[in-house]
């Protein structure tokens, strides 16, 4: 079964898009293109999708592996091509884990499983972008 989303024009340069679970997100162009910063950038949402996909994989794997961290965040940066249509041709992903007595081997295994096997969004990006990843550990 295919996922279906519907995007409709709200006003000015604002679009609202739903999700198969019926949650919505506002999208808008930048102020350079008559936007007002009340919505998210569609291209930046693609980077957020990487963080969400790999982050959810890692949380699921942590439960199975019995790994606990105090916190973690994923910083995703993308470099756009110079020519139109502009797309991300380079993507960097930095995983930051904070905690006491971090299980570095298990955390690294979970991240690598997400990157190499489970995250479908990353697999889509691999079709058009060079992806570089780094893992950072921070003792609390």
Residue 18 buriedness (CB in 10 A; 0-12 / 13-18 / 19+): middle
- Count other C-beta atoms under 10 Å from residue 119's C-beta: 23
DSSP E strands in 3-87: the ranges are: 7-11, 14-18, 24-28, 71-80
Q: What is the mean pLDDT of residues 89-107?
A: 98
The whole-number pLDDT of residue 30 equals 86
Chain segment 28-84, per-residue pLDDT in tens:
998 888 888 889 999 999 999 999 999 999 999 999 999 999 999 999 999 999 999
Rounded Cα distance between 111 and 114, Å, is: 5
Number of structural domains found in the chain: 2
Rounded Cα distance between 61 and 109, Å, is: 9
**Which structural domain range is residue 48 located in?**
42-139
Do 15 and 50 fall into the same domain? no
130: pLDDT confidence band, cut at 50, 70 and 90? very high
Do 48 and 92 fall into the same domain? yes
């Amino acid at each position: 079964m295919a996922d279906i989303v519907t995007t409709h024009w709200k006003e000015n340069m604002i679009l609202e898009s739903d999700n198969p679970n019926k949650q919505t997100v506002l999208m808008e162009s930048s102020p350079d293109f008559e936007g007002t910063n009340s919505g998210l950038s569609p291209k930046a949402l693609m980077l957020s999708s990487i963080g969400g996909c790999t982050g959810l994989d890692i949380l699921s794997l942590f439960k199975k592996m019995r790994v606990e961290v105090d916190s973690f965040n994923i910083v995703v940066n993308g470099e756009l091509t110079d020519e139109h249509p502009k797309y991300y041709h380079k993507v960097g992903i930095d995983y930051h884990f904070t905690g006491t007595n971090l299980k570095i081997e298990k955390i690294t295994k979970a991240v690598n499983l997400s990157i190499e096997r489970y995250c479908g969004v990353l697999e889509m990006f691999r079709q058009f972008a060079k992806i570089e990843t780094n893992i950072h550990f921070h003792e609390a």
